[in-house]
Structure 1
Amino acid sequence: MEELVVWLLAAYGCSSLLVTLANRWISRMAVRADQSCVHYRLLLGNSEQVLEYAVRRLHARSYWSGTPIRISYVDYGSTDDTCGITAVLKRAGCLCADEEEEVADAPAVIVDLRHTDEWERVI
């Protein structure tokens, strides 16, 4: 009989812990849903050397700050492998083309990767 009471108390404790954790998780998700998304617009032009690094760095900054981001791009006639890299990043869900944007007139942070000597100051 005593063993049954111990098991019941342990089950009650575990269930109350799970309910508390679930409530915290739900409230944290609600706070994140209310945050506005920061939109970055990358200007590309033969930017294969810096594109992936810039996207990964923006995602890392977003992860550590807890701010959701959206990254779109505009390609200005790249002749190198920039188009291939953007296709891979689009499939991975890291980028979206500017034409696919729901609100194209929304304010965005412009990151010009066409001039590779200037982009480190922006990111």
Structure 2
Amino acid sequence: MEELVVWLLAAYGCSSLMVTLANRWISRMAERADQSCVHYRLLLGNSEQVVEYAVRRLQVRSYWSGTPIRISYVDYGSTDDTCGIMAVLKRAGHLCADDGEEAAAVPAVTIDLRRTGEWERAM
């Protein structure tokens, strides 16, 4: 009988902890939804060496600052595996869609990965 009471108290404690954590997570997500999203536009052209690092670095910065981000890209005729890398990142949910002319009016931080060294200064 005593073991049953101990197990019931443990189950109650675990369930109340889970409810508290869920409420905190929901309130944090609601706060993030209210924040304005920072839009990054990556300009690509044979950038396979740096594109994944740049995307992951932006995501880490977003995570630590608590600021939601949106990452899109414009490819200027890459002949290397840049398009394949971007397709993998897009499938994994790290990117939005390809940036078209309709998104040009949206203010964004533009990072030109076609020029060596510029992306390091931008991040």
Normalising TM by the smaller chain, what interval? 0.7 to 0.9
Residue 71 (structure 2) pairs with residue 71 (structure 1): yes
Separation in 1, partners of 2:38, 2:62:
9
Gaps in structure 1 of 5+ consecutive residues = none
* Alignment match, 1:29: 29
Partner of 2:120: 120
Larger Rg: 1
Shift of 1:40: 0.3
Decide whether the 8 Å contact of 1:47 with 1:116 is kept in 2: no
Shift of 1:108: 0.3
TM-score (norm 1): 0.80
TM-score in terms of structure 2 length? 0.80
CA distance in structure 2 between the aligned counterparts of 1:39 and 1:33, rounded to whole angstroms: 14
CA distance in 2, matches of 1:5, 1:88: 52
More deviation in 78-87 or 52-61?
Answer: 78-87
1:63 offset after TM fit, Å?
1.2
1:111 aligns with 2:111: yes
The residue aligned with 2:98 is 97
Residue identity over aligned pairs, in percent, reads: 84
Which range is displaced more, 21-30 or 62-71? 21-30
Could you say what secondary structure the match of 1:80 adopts?
A: coil
Q: How many residues align?
A: 122
Amino acid aligned to 2:99: D
* Distance of 2:89 and 2:3 partners within structure 1: 57
